[in-house]
Structure 1
């Protein structure tokens, strides 16, 4: 009881000591509005003005001020602000003059109540600035509790226009608004990406939404006790194992140093409390303290860590690790080293985190360092902020852009016009549909004995093997020039082929589920991928794989034989690849060593497959999950690209990218795609560049067991490449067999693939050309003069059309597809004319 009383006293001392600190920052712009109110109100020592003022302007067709006498909000913080509201029946805008452009808080208060027959709980609306969507089709989720939204937006113009636009025939409302300047130094351009590691430029220009602001080990901090009027909540509800964490409170003064965090970064009551490891009740002290925060997985998040060593008695004794979503963002962190050997001095780290594992959670962990002898077995964290970053549409609420929000006054007038247009369009569509149905029925009667419909799912025609499958034998059905090679298997056939999914027949496990070796009745070996109902992947990936591979045929793409969707199963049947994955032949198994020539030929085959994906169809197909585990090898070590569940159709001709949520595998992700959520073919090129390094070095792309500078293969290898010493890190088993010129050209190719920006990366066709060149340099050593000539020729923007006619490939089946696919023809004949002196 005495300890608790002392801790409470210390907390009170910390919080009340901030009274003199308030006012350290005086915001140039400070608009506080109690919307719908006719008089001013004071909340947390701040004066909120009545709704109408000459300091700002409001454009709205109707002046609707609502109020309630209900006591239902009296128990909530800032209850005085929720007693009134301004209601909008059509798009309306506040305009705030901005004296000092830069980052500003935009804080919005919502509490729905009933007013003169109008029920605000049904209100649905959007809120935008000139450049960003803050809310889209928003409706207060809990009608019995107020909702507070805080945004941080960089305002570059001389005014801020805040627009409230009702959705459809609904209404919009707001109870209170804050538009307040933020110190310039609060958000700087120094954030790092958690994975893949590297700088994340541009954060100061992005819009943010505060998702969590947490005071580790301390009490609730209200706006009254924060110099920037922020609210910090306790961390207890986010801890996964509370018994592993212990709160620490210090009464010692916090030393804010020049150039470091200030009281505006976080108040003393954040840095004066912390969570540390609680080792009293556990036998094994090698554990992490972990917090878990549910988030929207389709966004990236700015995560700020607040540290202040209030637990150490001496310098250089506390070393610990910090993790974000299981990725180490700091190893062997010793706070005294980054605070000029001063204890109790604040330090912050900024990272950008994406949710690529489908969990919908940000997990933050701290744990002891095991690499520093004699270090304390402890770790601390004082505070944490998690901010959602706007996506490529400039939105914090979906894919709607500002231009998609209805302009003031246009909604009502456009309704009748749009209704007439859509009515006429619907009539035309119905007429066309009737014509098509009758036409198909007529054709079906004429050709019913030999015509098959197009491959489709959900409402289309499934090609069930039925009577075509005799004793478990696959039969290919043809119609005219069409060869249909993917069919629906009965579930009993799959069971029989896999010995009822015998666990000893499992040959792989992935995100979708287990992969079994199977054998059909005609002794055809197949690979059977059975979806796991608990997998993060599901119907979309299943459908994508079927739809893509049913129309793609290429000797360097794994062929889909069929599928099964009976009994709620999602099963895919592929051709069997005897030698498994490229990854398994590089490390982690006892397979024979692949020679450098074999590795290059495998890379060339995979490049051909990816080049076909990018260029062999009307619109490019972007794989999105290129990695060594998705490059399979047949009995002759012919490489084939596999696993198209995450694939995405590329941009239209008049577009440069596809805006989409980030998906892929850690270590292989294109950092530009990760930052901007803008997908192009060059994202596959980046991932393939990482595969090339994996092939060269024969090690995992991410290995947390290695020293920090070696964890990320791409980062580590590029440091050696830029120093011209790539030979220092290649697979020692083949190092002596690689010719220097072959290695040099290979390193240059990889470096171009891993360029920070997609526009600086080569196409897959260019990568393929360069890899063929690398192979020729390995096989035929050339004289220096010959190499100079080749280098000059290689600079010419030559393109080799690997696939001449994708439509023929789709129309005439595998046989004709292979004939039209020129990727099977080695380019060595071309290069022999360049490299061999006697051939020129």
Structure 2
């Protein structure tokens, strides 16, 4: 496979190359696939073309700048690790050298992975064109080939509360409240809806999961890790054909079987995470009894309209949730997990359903508080009467 042309460094010297990445090979294949039969309408621009308009917005860092920012990629500053490589907490100086240093997250590519190189290119381009409050901001990147080898790094805004996965599944942290769970999923859904319909091209995220939903200090969610994102089908095309990649337990069945990637693939994955939110369980847990290891199989025992439904809910919530809203969320999850991809809701419809569930939770919370207060008042009166 040909390696993509990355840098536009005209110099023959061995100094560090600093430039915006390009995907020339991909651009040729994308442009040839665009339906151009309707000449009265302008052809949609590709991700590459959209990125070229905004590439000047991304800051290009030298390798030494990022090495200094992380104290030599000190292990004490490592805050995460994945297939791409390691993520470090760092501090960078403003580009104009004015103002206070900025805390950032710096992702460093594993030198020995070509897949990581492709994901780095994808992240630079996709995050270079998107602009939404529920998508993480890419502040800059570094890409150099020198005597030290291949160096690929990404610089993001720092998210102090780590990920949804961390708060949902870690037993060392306080239980994530019911309403907070819904608000996080609502923000994530709004981010996905933007990717699916808020740009000139459709973007298939392809890797939605709890670990890729990062949280700000106030638990506002932002989608991260766009290394597997793909430009959606254009013209008369119904899907994008690609190798099946992603995380075990999340990929839509039609994608796994055929390699045909669509917007509906993201909807399926969102449905999986909805059930993780409800149950407090991961999609696959090998340490559980055989019948409980696969989440989507296990939850079938507790339909949303059955009396047994509450037995499925995360016990750590201690019944501090709206049962009516929870049933609605379960029904939404079931619709997202429809085997017929065409019958799944759109992300805009998912957003609307989650907004209704949050409103119902707030209403039930008021009623619960009123009932609790009323019961406490009655009990107090009885005590006072007994004393007399």
TM bracket (short chain): 0.7 to 0.9
Q: Write out per-residue CA displacement over residues 533-575 of structure 1, whole angstroms, 9 at most, x where no aligned residue.
A: 2346322111000011111111100010111112410100000
Separation (CA, whole Å) in 1 of partners of 2:319 and 2:67 = 49
**Distance (Å, rounded) in 2 between the aligned partners of 1:603 and 1:654:** 32
Q: What TM-score results when the alignment is normalised by the length of structure 2?
A: 0.76
The residue number in structure 2 matching 1:620 is 202
The answer for the alignment partner of 1:651 in structure 2 is 233
Partner deviation per Cα, 1:14-39 (whole Å, 9 max, x = no partner): xxxxxxxxxxxxxxxxxxxxxxxxxx
**For each residue in 1:593-620, what CA deviation from the matched residue of structure 2 results, as whole angstroms up to 9, or x when unmatched?**
2110101000000000011000012221
TM-score (norm 1): 0.36
Partner of residue 587, structure 1: 169
Residue 760 in 1 paired to residue 343 in 2? Answer: yes
From 207, 212, 237, the counterpart of 1:630 = 212
1:380-395 matches, within 5 Å, as none
Which SS does the other structure have where 1:550 is aligned?
helix
Equivalent position of 1:503 in the other structure: 75
Q: 1:638 to 1:652 in 2, by over 3 A?
A: same
SS, match of residue 565 in structure 1: strand
Match of 1:733 in 2: 316
Cα deviation, residue 658, structure 1 = 1.3
Q: CA-to-partner distance for each residue in 1:660-682, whole Å, 9 max, x for gaps?
A: 21111101111111112111111
Per-residue deviation, 1:712: 0.9
Question: Whole-Å Cα distance in 1 between the matches of residues 54 and 208 of structure 2?
Answer: 30
Distance 2:114 2:178 in 1: 37
1:759 counterpart SS class: helix
The counterpart of 2:61, out of the listed 482, 489, 497, is 489
1:226 aligned partner: none
Equivalent in the alignment of 1:683: 265
Structure 1 distance, partners of 2:127, 2:75, is: 27
What residue number does 2:89 align with? 517
1:556 maps onto 2:134 in alignment: yes
Give yes or no for contact 2:83–2:116 (8 Å, CA) kept in 1.
no
2:301 and 2:254 map into 1 onto residues whose CA distance is 19
Select the residue among 360, 369, 373 that pairs with 1:777.
Answer: 360
Say whether the 8 Å CA contact 1:721–1:751 is kept in structure 2. no
What's 1:750 paired with?
A: 333
Correspondence 1:320-359 to 2 at 5 A:
none
Is this contact kept in 1: 2:109–2:117, CA < 8 A?
A: no
| 1: CA distance, partners of 2:57 / 2:303 | 45
1:659, 1:776 → 2: CA distance?
40
Structure of greater Rg? 1
Q: How does 1:693-704 map to 2 (within 5 A)?
A: 693-704=275-286
1:570 pairs with one of 129, 147, 152: 152
Matched with 1:347 is: none
The aligned residue for residue 375 of structure 2 is: none
Structure (1/2) with the larger helix percentage: 2
Aligned residue for 1:525, secondary structure, equals strand
Contact 1:512–1:536 (CA under 8 A) maintained in structure 2: no
* Separation in structure 2 between the aligned mates of residue 565 and residue 747 of structure 1, nearest angstrom: 44
CA contact (8 A) 1:749 1:767 kept: yes
Q: Alpha-carbon deviation of 1:482?
A: 6.7
8 A contact 1:544–1:644 mirrored in 2: yes
Query: 2: CA distance between counterparts of 1:638 and 1:672?
Result: 32
Q: Does structure 1 retain, via aligned residues, the 8 Å contact 2:278–2:326?
A: no
Cα deviation for residue 735 of structure 1 reads 4.1
1:545 partner SS: helix
Matched ranges for 1:344-493 at <5 A = 456-457=21-22, 484-493=56-65
C-alpha separation in 1, matches of 2:70 and 2:216: 20
Which residue of 1 is the match for residue 373 of structure 2?
Answer: none
How far the C-alpha of 1:723 sits from its partner, in A, is 6.5
Distance of 2:279 and 2:91 partners within structure 1: 36
Q: What CA deviation, in whole Å up to 9, does each residue of 1:361-408 have, x standing for no partner?
A: xxxxxxxxxxxxxxxxxxxxxxxxxxxxxxxxxxxxxxxxxxxxxxxx
Between Structure 1 and Structure 2, how many residues are aligned? 310
Task: Give the secondary structure class of the aligned counterpart of 2:105.
Answer: strand
Q: Which runs of 4+ in 1 moved over 6 A?
A: none
The answer to whether the 8 A contact 1:530-1:570 is kept is yes
Contact kept in structure 1, 2:305 and 2:327, CA below 8 Å: no
Residue 611 of structure 1 corresponds to 193
**Aligned counterpart, 1:597:** 179
- 1:792 maps to none
Superposed CA deviations along residues 433-489 of structure 1, whole A, max 9, x for unmatched, are: xxxxxxxxxxxxxxxxxxxxx954378xxxxxxxxxxxxxxxxxxxxx979431210
